[in-house]
Amino acid sequence: MNIFLKEKKIIFGSLLVLFVGVLVWTHFSNDITNKQANTDNIQNKQVDSKDSKKDASGSGAVSNTNLNPNSESKPEPIFYPIDRVVDGDTVAVNMSGDAMLVRIIGIDSPEVDSDYTEQECFGAEASAKLKELLTDKTVRMEYDTNQGMLDKYGRLLAYLFLEDGTNVGGYMIDNGYAREYTFDSLYMYQKEFRDAEHVAREQKLGLWAPDACAKQNEIK
């Protein structure tokens, strides 16, 4: 009887140890599985993060550069050859093979002798200066919405600029070969031209010089 009880206790104890062992192993296995899953999640997140950074600094950056409006090239300005100089404020510009008369906005120079006008004081000098400035040159034309496209004689109305940025009308006033001229309404460079004439008058340049004209010292 005692032997039977001892054997039963041994068997029960063995089963208890086995049961506890199974529980411990199951818990340990689950813990390892969870840790591995967490590790995999962390690694996946790190990979995703690296891929995102790569996209941001790689192909994404190229797209951003392409979409940057500042990276788009601006259209090149068009420069036209000078066909001839008519007088100190009018030229003919070669536009696609046609010589188009252009009246420079905002200036008035003395007239030269022609079929339509009589020679005025300092007219020849003004015409010669404009020829000197524009011979073998090209110009960019800038229009003014306040002045319209054509004058009553059918001439284009525009400001002229050399390739170095020189404002042709401003140059003529600066050096005393033309005066500021407002026809009917305000124009874009009116203040600059008026200021330039004021300086030329004070410095007695060109047509403003006391001895510029023997009989006439004023532009009509």
**Of 43, 71, 99, which residue sits at a domain end?**
71
Residue 219 lies in a domain: no
Residue predicted with more confidence, 67 or 152? 152
Q: How many residues does the chain have?
A: 220
Which of 95, 98, 87, 102 lies closest to 151, judged by CA? 102
Q: What is the pLDDT of residue 56?
A: 44
Q: What is the pLDDT of residue 189?
A: 98
| pLDDT for residue 109 is more than 70 | yes
Does one domain contain both 190 and 113?
yes
| pLDDT for residue 84 is more than 80 | yes
Rg (CA), the chain: 45
Q: What is the pLDDT of residue 100?
A: 98
Q: What is the pLDDT of residue 62?
A: 36
Does one domain contain both 112 and 192?
yes
Q: Is the pTM of this model over 0.85?
A: no
pLDDT in tens, 5-24: 445 455 544 544 444 344 43
pLDDT in tens, 196-213: 999 999 999 999 999 988
155 is catalytic: yes
**CATH code of residue 109:** 2.40.50.90
Does one domain contain both 175 and 85?
yes
Residue 168 lies in a domain: yes
Determine which of 58-62, 116-120, 160-164, 208-212 has the lowest per-residue pLDDT on average: 58-62
111 is catalytic: yes
Instruction: Express as a percent the part of the chain with pLDDT over 90.
Output: 55
Determine which of 14-18, 117-121, 142-146 has the lowest per-residue pLDDT on average: 14-18
How large is the average pLDDT for residues 72-95? Answer: 93
**Catalytically annotated residue among 111, 120, 180, 197:** 111
Cβ-based neighbours of 126, under 8 Å, separated by 6 or more: 87, 88, 89, 109, 110, 172, 177, 178, 206, 207
Does one domain contain both 22 and 47?
yes
**Catalytically annotated residue among 120, 155, 180, 197:** 155
**Catalytically annotated residue among 7, 72, 76, 103:** 103
Instruction: Express as a percent the part of the chain with pLDDT over 70.
Output: 62
pLDDT in tens, 33-69: 444 444 444 444 444 444 444 444 443 433 343 445 4
Domain range holding 18? 2-71
Give the torsion through C-alpha atoms of 44, 49, 54, 59, to 10 deg.
Answer: 100
